[in-house]
Amino acid sequence: MANCEAFLGLFVALWRISTGDTVSMMKPFFQHMATGWLALALCACGGGGGGSDTATPTTPTTPTTPAPTVLTLTGTSTLSGVAAAGAPLLGAQIRVIDANGFPITLLDAAGTRVTSSRSSTADGSYRLSMVTNKTPLPLLIQAAGVDGSGMPVVVHTALIGNTLPLVAHITPITEAVTALMLGAAPRTVFAQPSLALTNLPLLRDTTALASASDLVKSVLATNMTDTKVVGTKTLDLLADPAFLANRATVDAVLDGVRIQVVKDAGGRDIVQVSNKFLTPGTVEVSVDLANARAELVLGTTGSIAKAITSTLKVATSPHKASLLSLATIDALSASINTQITQGASSATMSTALLGAYTQQDGRSKTAMADLLAEFATGNLQLGRWSLLGCVEDPIPSKGCAKFQAGALVINAAGQAVGVLNETLGNDTSKPVRWTLTGNGRSGDVRIQHVAQLRLNLDGSVPSGGPAASNGLLLVARAQDTASQTLNSATVQVPSGYGVRMVYCNVRDLCVTPGPATVQATGELSDTLLQQTPGWVGSQDAALGALYVATVTPTTGSALTFNTYLRSKLATDLSTSLFPKPDAPLTLASVNGDLLLNWRNWADANPDMQVKSVRLIANTPAVIRDFNLSGPMATSVFIPAPAAPITSFQIWLGAQDSLGVCAAEIRSSANEA
């Protein structure tokens, strides 16, 4: 952030803002900014899941890594595979490094040298032409994209041998195998070439690879049995030639499990595996990666199973109880796309697709039909559904019947321009078994971790400035469209305290100590529950903590439902994680038409995505939210304000792969 002297402040903080409507209000705030500062906030970025592990891992003494024969690639080599996380990763960015940590040069369709390629927006497949010159194997391959809900997904795999054809699939399962072999989070090794020299050689050891693969197969054994995966003993998890993102066998396993690499409370990398359709926050199996690698290095005398730190050794499966008709889920997308292609009206959409629909977080059946009609007008199509969890709470003993799901909205050029998050019903008695139903809720309330750190404009910590602080962000959606849907909400936290929220003329309700009407500042404090001092204790901030929300809609009866904390407290507050613009902002730039870019930050942080942009101005007072061009956007156009402003903040709402995050760029200025 060099050359920032022309303005007095830049602020980056966590916020949960969805892209969408513009909201204005007249409320002056932050009146006297004498010095410039940069504040950053983060939700779960670098934090992680974390469960209740009964065994405490010990720090192993790592033996010397064996040095098997080094295989190489020479000339122009073609590598192919599928990037998927149940549903295919559409348009994911593919990058490759060699065993020394050096990036592999790729050739695009025109023969031009490039540093990355994209997976197919149809089925997640990819095909790379790599320029190699005695390139040492293994190769570490990264796919960075978003799932159907718009959440960032970064997964890795390895190319072990040079036998043709060269195949390497990239999925959460290959992420787990690769992590066990590396003894660390693959994204960390991929980003630091010095670690590649130390960590990648073990990937060449076929005995170690077999042991790591067998452990993953054993953890997923019930899922593989239920999805009829055959030949598991010889199944190649990294390069199975029969693998497709087709909702069957191994891909069906991916639809039903959640696999993530996170840090535990002590900062150690672990793999977590669990049934995706259990109570949010549930972790079934945890494996300590450093211990796993230490056992793998021992060869035939090691036992990688010793690295499992959880009581449960095998993840449960949702397939017999919940996902009997999984193979037919994409028929729903096809049915919706047929109506879109025919240019169906709102009334037709309602009749053809929304017969069982109620409402989704305050979005009515009529509003949903209008949205689908807008897709038809814009010639947009839905991608394939990502299943995210069970909507029902408590979860029925016979399994879920309603599922939280998301699908990317894709234009004619194959670009993701939006996300449709919805509730899908599963009725096995009907020919098309999956339907759009809505969750029946008149509002949306979510709880998530937030951490805040203030820095100078050059990225340094101000002398005597505040250290990083953690809290909880309570988000109650008051406006799904331009109209207000909620009047108020009360939320009971696990420790027994109650929090009142009221409508404050912006999209989300504001926390208030009493029933009085409040005005939003647009800042983090509007929805923040402080840990110290405050009502938030350790049980309130625990993974899976239960919050009970009662929302009062503008029309209809009050509704009470549960919401859960889905991520652990952030442990990595590195300043590089927080969104930054590519160029300094000035008061003059914000008073004119501004194209705000953050591509440099996005390239350096593939497991995070900016999802929203908010402008807060002091004179005249205004809060405005801006639409992004899609879930992977790296810029946004901010039109010149109607009247000149004298100080401002710009918030960049970001999220990572472990939980929803927001980040704010605050630029508050009275230029000299």
The per-residue pLDDT for 27 is 32
What integer is the mean pLDDT of 188-205? 89
pLDDT(187) > 70:
yes
Helices 172-182 and 289-297: crossing angle, nearest 10°?
60
pLDDT band at 545 (very low <50, low <70, confident <90, very high): very high
Q: Cα angle at 664 between 663 and 669, to 5 degrees?
A: 165
What would the two tokens of residue 446 be? 């979510």
* Pair 220, 252: CB distance under 8 Å: no
Q: Is the pLDDT of residue 481 over 70?
A: no
Rounded to whole angstroms, the Cα distance separating 611 from 475 reads 15
**Contact in structure between 47 and 658 (CB atoms under 8 Å):** yes
Least confident of 280-289, 334-343, 352-361, 520-529: 520-529
Ordered by where they begin, the domains of the chain are 72-307 (no CATH), 330-384+392-436 (3.10.450)
pLDDT band at 264 (very low <50, low <70, confident <90, very high): confident
Per DSSP, helices labelled H in 183-240 are 186-191, 193-199, 206-219, 221-226
Q: How far apart are CA 160 and CA 270, in angstroms?
A: 23
Residue pair 160/209 in contact by the 8 Å Cβ criterion: yes
What is the pLDDT confidence band of residue 410, given thresholds at 50, 70 and 90? very high
Of 227-231, 394-398, 427-431, give the lowest mean pLDDT range: 427-431
Q: Tell me the Cα Rg of the chain.
A: 25
- For 20-57, the pLDDT digits (tens) are 333 333 333 222 232 233 444 444 344 444 444 444 44
- What pLDDT, on the 0 to 100 scale, is given for residue 616? 87
> In the structure, what pLDDT confidence band is assigned to residue 666 with cuts at 50, 70 and 90?
very low
Helices (H), strands (E): how many in the chain? Answer: 12, 35
Amino acid at 1: M
Q: How confident is the model at residue 15 (pLDDT cuts 50, 70, 90)?
A: very low
Question: If pLDDT is split at 50, 70 and 90, which confidence band does 497 have?
Answer: confident
Alpha carbon of residue 665 to chain centroid:
20
Rounded to whole angstroms, the Cα distance separating 100 from 98 reads 5
593 Rama class: left (phi>0) / alpha (psi -120 to 50) / beta: beta
Using DSSP, state whether 507 is helix, strand or coil.
coil
Q: Does the pLDDT of residue 623 top 80, yes or no?
A: yes
Q: Does 9 score more than 70 pLDDT? A: no
The mean pLDDT of the chain is 83
- The residues, any chain, with a CB within 8 Å of residue 66's CB and separated by 6 or more, are 201, 202, 205, 297, 299
**What is the 8-class DSSP label of residue 547?**
E
Bridge-based pairing of strands 72-82 and 166-167 is: parallel
- Percent residues over pLDDT 90 in the chain: 52
Q: Is the pTM of this model over 0.75?
A: yes
Average pLDDT on 161-184 reads 96
DSSP-assigned letters across all residues of 364-426: EHHHHHHHHHHHHHTT-EE-PPEEEEE-SSSPPTT--SEEEEEEEEE-TTS-EEEEEEEEEEE
d(CA 211, CA 235): 13
pLDDT for 44: 37
pLDDT band of residue 354 (cuts 50, 70, 90) is very high
Q: Which residue has the tokens 């959880």?
A: 310
Which token pair is 44? 């779960």
Q: What is the DSSP letter of 208?
A: H
pLDDT at 472: 84
Higher pLDDT, 434 or 13: 434
Predicted confidence at residue 580, as pLDDT, reads 80
Checking if the pLDDT of 661 tops 70, the result is no
For range 117-131, the mean pLDDT:
93
Amino acid found at 451? A
Instruction: Please give the angle made by the CA atoms of 612, 614 and 615, to the nearest 5 degrees.
Output: 155
Mean pLDDT over residues 240-258, rounded? Answer: 95
Give pairs for 258-262: CB < 8 Å, separation 24+: 258/172, 259/172, 259/173, 259/175, 259/176, 260/48, 260/49, 260/172, 260/657, 260/658, 261/175, 261/176, 261/179, 261/185, 261/186, 261/187, 261/289, 262/47, 262/48, 262/49, 262/50, 262/568, 262/658
Rounded Cα distance, 311 and 284, in Å: 8
Let me know the angle formed at the C-alpha of 321 by 152 and 213, rounded to the nearest 5 degrees.
55
pLDDT at 11: 29
- Give me the DSSP letters along 308-353: B-SS--S----TTTT-TTGGGTHHHHHHHHHHHHTT--HHHHHHHH
Does position 461 have pLDDT exceeding 80, yes or no? Answer: no
End-to-end distance of the chain based on CA atoms, in angstroms? 19
How far is 156 from 182, CA to CA, in rounded Å?
11
613 vs 313, more confident = 313
| Average confidence (pLDDT) over 304-324 | 95
- Give the count of alpha carbons within 13 A of 144, CB side only: 20
Longest dimension (CA), the chain: 73
**Contact present, 85 and 254 (Cβ < 8 Å):** yes
The stretches of 587-655 forming alpha helices (DSSP H) are 587-591, 599-604
Q: What is the pLDDT of residue 66?
A: 52
Average pLDDT over residues 217-229: 97
CA angle centred on 351, ends 356 and 326, rounded to 5° = 50
Residues whose CB is less than 8 angstroms from the CB of residue 46 and which lie 6 or more positions away in sequence, other chains included: 263, 570, 571, 572, 573, 574, 577, 656
- Confidence (pLDDT) at 344: 95
Question: pLDDT tens digits for 561-598?
Answer: 999 998 877 666 666 777 788 888 778 888 999 999 99
CB neighbours of 206 closer than 8 A, spacing ≥ 6? 68, 160
Q: Give the tokens for residue 580.
A: 């930054």
Structure-token pair, residue 660: 């929803």
Mean pLDDT of the region 98-125: 93
Question: CA 547, CA 222: separation in Å to the nearest integer?
Answer: 31
The pLDDT value recorded for residue 68 is 60
Q: Which of 66-75, 494-503, 555-564 has the lowest mean pLDDT?
A: 66-75
